[in-house]
Structure 1
Amino acid sequence: MASSFLSFSLLFISLCSADGFRYYMVFRCDFNSTELNDIEYILSLYYNKVEYARFSSSVGEYVGYTEYGLKQAKYWNNDPSELSRRRAEKERWCKDNIDAFSSGVLTQSAKPYVRLQSVTPSAGKHQSMLVCSVFDFFPKLIKVSWFRDGQEVTSDVTSTDELADGDWYYQIHSHLEYTPRSGEKISCVVEHASLKEPLVTDWDPSMPESERNKIAIGASGLILGLILSLAGFIYYKTKARGRILVPSN
């Protein structure tokens, strides 16, 4: 399986304020590998939530975004010691932190879990559709495939991209449209860096537990209703027999 392409940022924030106005700097390290050439150091300077100047190691100097920022960028760019110090920050700040981050976090992996279910296709030439949903895996790269009676199925298969959950984990959903055959075996197969061998989930065409529960609850309600109705009828008949008729004058 090919290695995944990673892109992350490390943030370092410095804040100070005076008389209600806030000035802050954000140090950011963008990288897609631990190689120094694949790392970009970015320093952004803000005043009252507006970025007025930025230094980027890929540009090599300051860039101003406001009138004040343009003046400051020109001033800093004319100072060789300031530029030399900022250009060295990529290795001093980013490299060490990225090496530690990569060894402590990016080398870890999380195993996926799979949910296989049947849905009704909205359109198409087939009668049925299966959805293989894979959740909570890391890193991003994953392979989801379908097998029918031991043979891989490549037609009538659609999949989403790997969707980020926002918490470092990912999910993906693969759809298979098919026409059911008696006695067939359909499987969803997941291959991922966290797995020593492919994770195989077989489709069980029997009624899902949730559907069985719905039927059981409905049947219980029906039986209870019949029992209450019968009890009411017996009570009514018993009371009717026990009445004493008094003749009128």
Structure 2
Amino acid sequence: MRLDGKVAIITGAAAGIGEACCDVFAAAGAAIVVADYDEAGAHMVARRLADKGASAVSIAVDVSDEQACADMVALAVKRFGGLDCAVNNAGIAHTPTPIQEIDVALWQRVWEVDALGVALCLKHEIPALLKRGGGSIVNIASGAGTHGARHMGAYVAAKHAAVGITRTAAIELAPHRIRVNAVCPGLIATARNNQNLPTGMKWSDLVSNPTGRLGEPHEVANMALWLASDRSTFVNGEAIAIDGGKYLS
């Protein structure tokens, strides 16, 4: 799967799934805009890619800030001449909490990043893709975007919204040769995930899929690459699970 000559934006790119996406997209030949709330982390990833011969630039982006999303796309156009694909991966979760105990501020912040953030990225990515005559957008949602998850109410609600936004955009943009899909990971082995657990607990303690392990960031990144490439040109509006078969039974 190659993306030679293509330009990609990847949000939440300083670590975890986003960083893995940067690696596989750069290896496939794409120029990368490395975007993350963590400015220093994004810069380190972009520098590492550049040291390996890839074209990469970093930018600090809070996806809940519309101007930041607009600036991100403008950077892609200015530095690399346009935009061909995007992986909207930026997101936050929260410590598992009974739904009646989640406070309003937490509901709002998770919603702003995980749902509104996707919408704002799309709002500014789509015009750039239209100018290129088409492209592909991959939204990193979650298994929580298609199923319930105990004590993760705010996250579940926002990820369901992200899947709904994906499907609506796919319908609207298909006539313009822009595909929009969602990837729905299960539990993935990232440092950030461990930060959202109560002291003494590990996500590996919660594994409940038939495969019997956590997923790896590169496994999600490879699916995102396939969706961004010409290998998946008849795939549109899907919410594709990468969860080790968690919901098979």
**Which structure has the greater CA radius of gyration?**
1
Q: Give TM-score scaled by structure 1 length.
A: 0.21
Q: Give TM-score scaled by structure 2 length.
A: 0.21
Higher strand share: 1
Higher helix share: 2
